[in-house]
Structure 1
Amino acid sequence: MKPDLTELDAFAAVARHGSFRKAADERGVSASALSHAMRTLEQRLGVRLLNRTTRSVTATEAGQQLLSTLQPALAAVASALQALQCQQQVPTGTLRLNVSRPAARLVVGPMLGPFMAAYPRIKVELLTDDGLTDIVAKGFDAGVRFGESLASDMIALPIGAPQAFVCVAAPGYLRARGTPQAPRELLEHACIGRRFPSGKLYSWEFLLNGQPLRLAVPAALVLEDDGLMLQAALDGAGIAYVYEAMAKPYLADGRLQELLQDCKAAASRFFIYYPSRRHTPPALQALIDFSRARG
């Protein structure tokens, strides 16, 4: 049986200290156990490595030859382990993220600049994708989606502030078509529908008399991008159902008006999710910790 690295490192320690007791104290074992281990090592190699007297321990000529080869090798191993520990303390490497476009715009995008300033040794690759991509198969470290979109075998943690949806329309549209006072009145209006990459049309969500209501609105125009939905609403094409945070600038300057405020559904959270694994990559853990610190 070949000697292992632990035995060779123990031999180097004994030769360096010239003492079983000192080497044993350094390694947290008994001197007798270390002496026995050295005898076993010599038997395996078929050569005496140490000269033992009642007062000292010195390397034999064969032991000196082995030690001269071992010391640089052991130093290289120690240096590699130290570098690995430093990497854990100062995260480095590439972090690959698969993020829905709204999540990228509302949550992840605003934190990228501060995050990369805080962790200059991390490289971030972010792909925006509204589909339900298999992040493991595609080689991503993590994804960001709404909670209801996540597979059950993923670790998922909330990221960013809760996001609410609002119904909005241009004042000109409302003057021409009237202002709906209840969700079901939307069925009489031109609505701007949202289609997912799966092909499914999104049903608008409301809270009516304390109960959730999902409404399949008539879509005069169907889009899959929030920016286009907002532009269509600004142009008077109909009523849009969009992220409140994206509509805020237009609501503030009066170019859009919010509808059905009393029926607004509860805000939802985006989640950063990743496969269950024993050791989370340092770059990913850094992003998780950074997002938590931002609240």
Structure 2
Amino acid sequence: MPSAGWSWNLLTDLQEMWAFPFMVNAFRAGTIVAIAAAVMGWFMVLRRQTFAGHTLAVVGFPGAAGATLIGVSATYGYFAFCVAAALVIAAVPRAGRDAGGGESALTGTIQAFLLVCGFLFTALYKGLLGGVTSMLFGSFLGITTTQVWVLLVVAVAVLGVLAVIGRPLLFASVDPDVAAGRGVPVRLLSTLFLILLGAAAAGASQITGTLLVFALLVMPAATAQVLTARPILSLSLSVALALVVTWLGLIIAYYSPYPIGFYVSTFAFAGFVFARLGRLIADRLPRLAPTGVPA
């Protein structure tokens, strides 16, 4: 980490940061994760499955801790546990708009049990485990080129599958009953979506940490859907917001001793608050307009 702070010359600051290979990898990984998380998060918010997304992010912690315990890369633990949890959650039938009770109960049970398992794995590990804070709250230090390639392959696969099922998934997300009546395989789409969401959560957890992965999965998507109801525009805006908060988080964290997850979450939360305030003001403006004017 550099000893000097901001030079107030953005070009110089960027050149200084990108002179370090770990920062180049951090920006590459952050960009990949932001795009994948924003797209998956947009569908997750639309489908009202944010609790499932939170659980899939949290179980990345026991996955990473368990992988470290048995001596393999934590990356494999993230993906193994997140995808496995997605399959378990997908086993609960989800039919209709108000049938999420069973899914929520199972999701909370999985989250509580696996979170405790994560702390057990860290207690059983006899070596020096200094990455607990990074697992929980994120870190851009130590991101290797191999990890970047793994994240890229996973993101391309996730977004590729989502592009294939995107239209029927959107239909099933907006009105699952009508979609099922039209012959759309709602249950299969729900299972595929949860698997893709698990993979996206596993990737985002390696940047923001398992406890703050919601910063990329939920906040940009929720902000975008507050600002506009048009699917294409809202989805594009979600990606743009995720990229901005990730890049800003990396830049600020480079000059700070605090974890990147804090900054990404703070910027994303601020964007959501301003979007809600702007929507509230916009909704109240017609009421303040003079009456008696023809529509």
Report the TM-score when normalising by structure 1: 0.20
Richer in helix (by share) = 2
| More relative contact order, 1 or 2 (CA 8 Å, 6+ apart) | 2
Report the TM-score when normalising by structure 2: 0.20
The structure with the largest alpha-carbon Rg is 1
